[in-house]
Amino acid sequence: MISYVKGKLIQASPGNAIVETGGIGYSILIPASVYPNLPQTGQEVLIHTTLVVRELSHTLYGFLSQDERNFFEEITGVSGIGPKLALSLIGHLSMKEMHAAIGNNDIPAISRVPGIGKKTAQRLIIEMRDRLEKSSKYYLPSDFAIQIQSDPRAQKISDAMSALINLGYNQNIAQKAIKTSLENLPETIELPDLITDALKNV
């Protein structure tokens, strides 16, 4: 597996970047959203990649962050979503927008992406919601998540969410447990105490 390519950016377009390293030029397919954030040609760039092997081709897909690459790999695990369609999704919707659409069952937002119909959008939401709820790398936005953005304990709440999910609790259970704890705990609560109290509520 080629995890990333680091070298001189030789050429770039909204769908493709060519990076030279060690005398070899790597052609990498990129989401349209990545193109405006690339450096000028001739400058060094690091692109996180995933290699998709087919019988007649070996194709590199690239992203500017590991999270985007990992999310791409999650999407391609959905039935009916191939690498090119997943690339189009990420090119049209940011990870934050994708998470919001999945969390809010927003079929129209996803079906607006070229190549994605209503049925495909429904299937993607169902399968990705299950994947993201079980994953320790992400948790879906919700009314609760929106409320805590302005809470002075926001970072502690986020860390506590990750801790409970890592312990095997799904997102909904973790959120309810932490929300119950927050109703009775002061703003100065320390993270270990928040986790301990939340565990009493699961």
- Find residue 199's DSSP bridge partners: none
Q: CATH code for 67-138?
A: 1.10.150.20
Query: How far, CA to CA in Å, does 55 sit from each of 16, 52, 79?
Result: 22, 10, 19
Place of tokens 């609560």: 189
pLDDT band at 133 (very low <50, low <70, confident <90, very high): low
In terms of C-beta density within 10 A (0-12 exposed, 13-18 middle, 19 or more buried), how is residue 150 classed? exposed
List, in sequence order, the alpha helices (H) in the chain: 66-75, 83-92, 95-103, 107-111, 118-134, 143-148, 154-166, 171-182, 191-199
Q: How many helices (H) and strands (E) does the chain have?
A: 9, 5
pLDDT band at 44 (very low <50, low <70, confident <90, very high): very high
Give the C-alpha separation, 106 to 129, whole Å.
12
For range 62-84, the mean pLDDT: 90
Which has more pLDDT, 8 or 163?
Answer: 8
Q: Does the pLDDT value for residue 139 go beyond 50?
A: no
For range 8-33, the mean pLDDT: 95
Q: Does the pLDDT value for residue 142 go beyond 70?
A: no
Residue 103 near residue 141, CB atoms below 8 Å: yes
Place of tokens 């959008």: 121
Give the C-alpha separation, 151 to 66, whole Å.
28
SS3 state of residue 5: strand
Q: In the CATH hierarchy, which fold is given to the domain comprising 4-63?
A: OB fold (Dihydrolipoamide Acetyltransferase, E2P) (2.40.50)
Domain with CATH 2.40.50.140 in the chain: 4-63
CB neighbour list of residue 192: distance below 8 Å, 6 or more residues apart: none
Domain with CATH 1.10.150.20 in the chain: 67-138
